[in-house]
Structure 1
Amino acid sequence: MGIWPFKTRGCSSPFNSPSLQPEAEYPGGLRCRDAPAGLAALALLLLLLLLCARRCAPAAGGGRAGPRWLLVLRHRLALRALGWAAGRQRRGLERELEAGAVRRSQERLLRRLLGGAGAPEPDPETFRRRRPLVGPGGAGGESPALRPGLRALLLSACSSEPPLQGSVLYLDVLGRAHPEALSPLGTARFSWAPGRSLPAAAWPLPTLYCAPPAEAGTVPSRAVALYVQLLFALRQRALRVLEAGLVSELYDALGLLRAGWEGLAQDLASGKLSRRLELPAETRRRLDARLAPDTARAAVLRAECARGWDGLARRLWPRLRVVVAAEPSSEHFYGDALRAAECQGLPFYSPFYGAAGALLGVNLWPEQPDTRYLLCSGWAFCEFLPVGPGSQGPPETLLLSDVCQGQEYELVLTAQPGLYRCRVGEVLKVAGFHDRCPVVQPVRRLSQTLSVRGEGIPEEGFYRSLRRAVALWPGARLVDYVCAESSLLGASSGASAPHYQVFVELQGLRDLSEGQRYKLDQCLQEDFPVYKSFRFKGSVGPLRLHLVAAGAFMELRDAVGLPAPMARVLRETRPLHFIQSRVIS
């Protein structure tokens, strides 16, 4: 069998059709019929799609224009094209996992990168000797411009571009695990970037999304964009998927539901956006034109919110199947909070792994509780620095084909156009292998370690200690938090020993006593012996805990702009001064 973790014979995947059923299994994967009749059927499919694409495009944006049957027809035809593209991509990916193919794929990719730079190093070993490592922050870049629809689906069948390959593989995996997830208008997306729309996980298949239209991505505020997206999602009772670029975006959207469900119900009933929302006049006009009064849905929203928050998502959308969102280590807090309340009982699926602006891997196991990603050897040239015991000395990297199961490594990427090798600052654990290709789990970000004297408290460790301390504060619920080292404050930190500054937003408490504040420092001492010894010696001072106003962290993410994983340890003065300005106790 190939790598795919789902059965294909008798599978209820929406891609299955007489022209796409596997003929036979072979070591490289699944064989699709490539007969002339199949090509003729594909040509007819393309013609039908081209004929109906323009007429049903407004309906795919979530508005009232365009007949429903035309949208459904376009969606079903697109699924056929997607099944064809996914079959080719599966076979190509499985070929890359054969013996020796992983190393050859990385070498081809490196030659392509170096060709663009005009530096013809002959092999990876020579390349590593000649090019020094640079620190985090050197790699990255703008995401490519993505145009959704039929053309993207057709290109994806033979393209080597990671955004195309990744999205098609994701749709194939999602459709096999949750067949209903690929229903037309069955996905609600929550994301925002200033001045532009971000590509969705399923961007080649825009008929999946219930709305809002592109105008919602151009509103001037993240909070307003999430509100608009939430309102359009609430109109659709038959949602199957809640999707967000980051789990924090879904957390904030459902936080808006908690805080403003009365206003949302009023907007549903009236079919108009509230005048309290700051929107450009033309954007408001276009959005209002796609709404219609729905008093019945407004009544459902009021009734379900009055019952409480636990399991609210499934009560509002009874056919909901899965939450799709990236959940990096710094955002586990948001995922845990959603699983315990609004999204109770729903599986979470993080489809992609990326770093420094590069797409590196795909999650082929959506039903597994521990998220892991198959690193795709043709997507980026990766090297690995061993971390932990025995890793001292000059840094010597390993290639993708040389890593060992169970070990942790710092990721090194070669940036376009192949001029330098960048230490990304991300630590991965090799959880296993699919054939010859490693399957990894992100462990931590090196930049998110608290260390004023070399004590090294990682972000996940601090989070565990903070949760334990909050449990000792009767009636308190943690809403959000960040930390900073006192050195970032400069002279304003005072003459005391170096210490941690911690900012928390709580529900259920309006103030903290000195005894309650000390509980967090005490938990850190119990959990981290090195920190305790420095506190005992006086070389590290007691942490200072600050309570901030409600909504402060949502405002902070709005002020930051471009979506990025939440920084638990602040390294810049601008966000630190912003959160300091929201301190109430």
Structure 2
Amino acid sequence: MLPVAAVVAAVVAVAVAVAVTLRASSALRHRLACSVLLRAAVRYRRRLELLGSEVGLSQERCLRRLLPRGTALGSEAFRERHPLGPSCPSDGALAARLPPLRPWALLRACWGSDPPLQGSLLYLDALRAAFPGALARGGTARLSWAPGRPRAPAGWPLPSLYCTPAEASALPSRAAALRVQLLFALRQRALRVLEAALAAELHDALAALRADWPGLARDLELGELSPQAGLAEDARGRLQALLVPDAARAAELRAECAGGFEGIVRRLWPRLQLVVVGMAHGAERLYCDALRQADCEGLPFYCPFYGAAGALLGVNLWPEEPAPRFLLCPDWAFCEFLPCPAEEELRTVLLDELWEGREYGLVLTAQPGEYRCRAGELLRVTGFHKQCPVVEPVRRESQTLSVRGESIPEDRFCRSLCRAVGLWPGARLVDYVCVESTLLGASSGATAPHYEVFVELRGLRDLSEGQRYKLDQCLQEDFPIYKSFRFKGSIGPLRLHMVGAGGFVRLREALGSPVPMPRVLREERLLQLMQSSIIS
């Protein structure tokens, strides 16, 4: 608990800052808000250091908050009374349960438990320390699509950071939302941060830039939004009112795009310092790697948060490191872990009982009444900060391929696929999904159970049968059990299909909600969409 004098001083400071901001210019309001938020971040950072020195006790307190009032269970009794539950009800993006931005809310965050606010405060503090100038007013552009439920930007307590209108993210069309946000980002030449809720959204927005840069340049020059599918006239009118003609910026966009797209992001925004993505691991890593190698060449990528089942669990305090790793905050959720490989007795270990270098399945109690849910996530412990474990996500259990119990995880399948693509001269993997033949029904024919894989490639227009077989061969080399089943004939040969450009963009829109890309399709309608996009 903070000293009373410090609390009173903080109350006065916040109250004065708020009073002044009501009369100040927008630039001054931004600076004052920055100062207040960063002070709150420093206070919570100190508290986190204290919590990290007594992880077991912090988790016990967290558990008591999540149990009904008057329940006096400790973690041992809690685990005995509540058996391991089913999978968590949500496995999508982080839920946007945002507290009000009032002085007392900020102060309460310094010693209470408010993960969305505390996470954003830590993000702003880490960003300021590693990238001076990244918190400039209007210096961040956000690319995000969330038509059903809003997703908060990483720096949501400081809305003056953003130059892109929040309304654009709620448009019913994903393509229209990303195009509008891209247009507003292009207006701001002095951009410092490019933020995307998912790496796939940044990937698709830059693909739209490649495909329609003349149209975007025209909109910039005229200061208007072109009519487009998915953009209603009333929304178009409100968004267009925020635009002004900018012929000079339009000419710059034309000149840079005419020169090619290698490193285009740094050429369009020469003061850009980094790219922030809501997820850079698992299914999204493929897009991050592609962006680093081409459009965003030379820029660091920072993934600030780790969450599962809609709950915020950890924060990345090291924005300059290339591989994201996350400190699990002990007062945000009650976490348990199942050691991998699974032991005979399904006995979980707690946050202060983890071993560095081991992998664990995550079991989560983050909401009252939702006890001991399996999050379907596997984590690897990479180290410790004080007593708090630092982890990296490994894979999602729901994205494991299996038609005979052979169990091929998504991360290892992706490595085998990338190895096979490397054997096809000139080819580069853009995207992929897999299907187990059971989803095909009668259309799979009378063959043995098998996998069907849909890929989008650059550098190749067709694949020979010999090249297609390379993937099956790589899987047999990497997975002895799969090879054994293939030799016995109980698993049939893998079938590989090439998908045309835009097929995976349509798939992401058809998903209907902003979730990490599913690498194993489980719905027939999504399979049919992929089948309609096959070109070879």
Instruction: Say whether the 8 Å CA contact 1:159–1:165 is kept in structure 2.
Output: no
For 1:115, what is the secondary structure of its paired residue?
coil
Query: Which residue in the other structure is 1:258 paired with?
Result: 210
Asked whether the 8 Å contact 2:91–2:375 carries over to 1, the reply is no
Match of 1:438 in 2: 389
Q: How does 1:185-334 map to 2 (within 5 A)?
A: 185-211=138-164, 213-325=165-277, 326-334=279-287
1:16 is aligned to none
Q: Aligned residue for 2:19?
A: 47
* Secondary structure, aligned partner of 1:51: coil
Q: Secondary structure at the match of 1:134?
A: coil
Counterpart amino acid of 2:15?
A
CA–CA separation in structure 2 for the residues paired with 1:462 and 1:137: 24
Which deviates more from structure 2 when the two are superposed, residues 378-387 or residues 507-516? Answer: 507-516
Determine whether 1:105 maps to 2:77: no
Matched residues in 1 for 2:452 and 2:351: separation?
A: 39
**Counterpart among 162, 169, 174 of residue 122 in structure 2:** 169
Question: For residues 304-383 of structure 1, what are the structure 2 equivalents within 5 Å?
Answer: 304-325=256-277, 326-383=279-336
**Cα 1:313/1:32, change in 2 over 3 Å:** farther
Q: CA shift at 1:46, angstroms? A: 1.8
Q: CA deviation at 1:179?
A: 1.4
CA distance in 1, matches of 2:166, 2:173: 15
* Partner Cα separation in structure 2 for residue 34 and residue 180 of structure 1: 29
C-alpha distance in structure 2 between counterparts of 1:226 and 1:147, whole Å: 27
Pairwise CA distance, 1:259? 1.4
Once the two structures are TM-superposed, the CA of residue 258 in structure 1 deviates from its matched residue by 1.4
Partner of residue 516, structure 2: 565
Code of the aligned partner of 1:558: E
SS in 1 for 2:67: helix
Deviation at 1:342, TM superposition (A): 0.6
Query: Partners in 1 of 2:477 and 2:9 — Cα distance?
Result: 70
Aligned-CA RMSD value: 2.3
| Counterpart for residue 91 of structure 1 | 46
CA distance in 2 between counterparts of 1:520 and 1:386 reads 31
Instruction: For 2:36, give the aligned amino acid.
Output: A
Residue segments in structure 1 that go unaligned for 5+ positions in a row? 1-27, 53-69
Whole-angstrom distance in 2 between the partners of 1:210 and 1:144 = 20
Q: Which residue of 2 aligns with 1:74?
A: 29
**How high is the TM-score relative to the length of structure 1?**
0.87
| 2:472 is aligned with 1:521 | yes
Q: Measured at CA, do residues 290 and 130 of structure 1 come closer, stay the same or move farther in structure 2, by a change above 3 Å?
A: same
**2:451 corresponds to:** 500
AA matched with 1:170: Y
SS at match of 2:391: strand
C-alpha separation in 2, matches of 1:267 and 1:283: 16
Identity %: 63
Q: TM-score, normalised by structure 2?
A: 0.94
Would you say 1:407 and 2:358 are equivalent positions? yes
Query: Residue 9 of structure 1 corresponds to which residue in structure 2?
Result: none
Task: Name 1:461's counterpart in structure 2.
Answer: 412
- Does structure 1 conserve the Cα–Cα contact (< 8 Å) formed by 2:97 and 2:116? no
Taking the aligned partners of 1:150 and 1:505, their CA distance within structure 2 comes to 48
Counterparts in 2 of 1:110 and 1:150: CA distance versus 1, 3 Å: closer
**1:76 & 1:486 partners in 2: Cα distance?**
57
Gaps of 5+ in 2: none
- Please report how far the alpha carbon of residue 247 of structure 1 lies from its aligned counterpart in structure 2 after TM superposition: 0.9
1:147-202 alpha-carbon deviations (Å, 9 max, x no partner): 77565655544542100110101110111010111000000101011145421110
Q: Provide the secondary structure at the position in 1 that maps to 2:68.
A: helix
How far did 1:127 drift? 0.9
- For the structure 1 residues 40 and 163, does the alpha-carbon distance in structure 2 shift closer, same or farther, using more than 3 Å as the test? closer
Partner in structure 2 of residue 21 of structure 1: none
Shift of 1:41: 4.5
What is the number of equivalent residue pairs in this alignment? Answer: 533
Conservation of the 8 A alpha-carbon contact between 2:399 and 2:518: yes
Separation in 2 of the partners of 1:145 and 1:499?
42
